[in-house]
Structure 1
Amino acid sequence: MAAPVRILCCSVFKHSSRRFSTTCGLQGGEQWRKQHGLARSGTEYGPLTDLPDWSFADGRPAPPMKGMLRRRQEREELARRIVMLNSEMDRGMESWREKKDEAQRMEEHKKSLLLKAKGKLLKKKHPPS
C-alpha cells in the first residue's frame, strides 16, 4: 500500500506547475528605509528593539532581555574591532610615512655623493651675481 502512495506523490510533484522557490525574498519597504537613513528592516535597531517591553508599576526598569544583552554585546565587540582596526591603520600609516621619509633621505644622500661640477662647468651652470 505504501508503494502506490509514494508513486502517486512523486507523480503529483512532477506534474505540478507550481515550483518551490529557494531564493531569499526582499523585505517590503527596504529600499525606502535605506533611502531615509533607517535600518533595512524595522527589527534591526530602534526604540521597538532597544527599549524594554515593560517596566514595573513603581517605575523600576525591567531586567534586560536576552536579545537586548546579545545586541549590546555584539555592539561592544564591533566597537572594539573598529578601535583595533583604526589603531592598526594609524600604525600602518605611520610606518608608511617613515619609510617614505627614509627613502627621501636616501635619495638626497645619493645626490650628495654624486660628482660636483668644477671650474668652467660650475660657472656655466651658475652665472655670477
Structure 2
Amino acid sequence: MYTRLQKLISPAVLCGQRRLIYLSPITQSIDNVDWRLKKGLPDNPNRMAILRDGPDYTFLDGKPTPYGTGQKLRIMKQREYTAKIIQLSKEVDFALERYRNLKQAEKEQKEMIIASKLKEKGKQHLS
C-alpha cells in the first residue's frame, strides 16, 4: 500500500506541484480484498447467505416480510437447480438399476445355456 502511494506521490513532488491524491474505490477494494483473504475471510461479504438472504426488518405482528432485491429470483433458481438435481439423480439411479438387471439377465442366460447342455454318461454319474 505504501509503495503504491509513494508511486502516486513521487510525480507530484518531482514536478513541484501540489495536488490532492484521490484513491479510487477500486484501489481501496483491492487492498480490502487482500486483507480479507489474509485473515481467512471471504473476499466479498455480500455473497454470504446470512447477510444477503436475511430480512432487513420484521413486522411486530408476525406478518412475513417481503422478499429483498433479487431474493425471489435466487429462490426460483435454487428450486430449478433442486428439481434438475433430483431429475438427474433419478436418471442415474435408473441407469444403474438397468445395468444391474441386464448383467443379471445375461448371467442367468449363460447359466441356463450351461444347464441345458447335454451331460456325458458314465459310471460316475450313475452312482
**CA offset at residue 57 of structure 1?**
6.3
Q: What residue in structure 2 maps to residue 108 of structure 1?
A: 111
CA RMSD of aligned residues (A): 3.3
> Of residues 89, 96, 99 in structure 1, which corresponds to 2:99?
96
Q: What residue in structure 1 maps to residue 87 of structure 2?
A: 84
**Alignment of 1:119 onto 2:126:** no
Written as runs of structure 1 = structure 2, the 5 A alignment for 1:1-129 is 28-29=36-37, 32=40, 41-56=44-59, 60-120=63-123, 123=124
**CA offset at residue 48 of structure 1?**
0.4
**CA offset at residue 67 of structure 1?**
1.5
**Secondary structure, counterpart of 1:43 in structure 2:** helix
**Secondary structure, counterpart of 2:47 in structure 1:** coil
Structure 2: unaligned runs, 5 residues or longer: 1-29
Q: What is the aligned residue count?
A: 95
**CA offset at residue 105 of structure 1?**
1.0
Q: What residue in structure 2 maps to residue 17 of structure 1?
A: none
Distance 2:126 2:116 in 1: 23
User: Sequence identity of aligned pairs in percent?
Assistant: 28
Would you identify which runs of 4 or more consecutive aligned residues in structure 1 move more than 6 Å?
A: none
Q: TM-score, normalised by structure 1?
A: 0.57
Structure 1: unaligned runs, 5 residues or longer: 1-24, 34-38
**CA offset at residue 70 of structure 1?**
1.4
**CA offset at residue 45 of structure 1?**
3.8
Distance 2:52 2:63 in 1: 19
**CA offset at residue 76 of structure 1?**
0.5
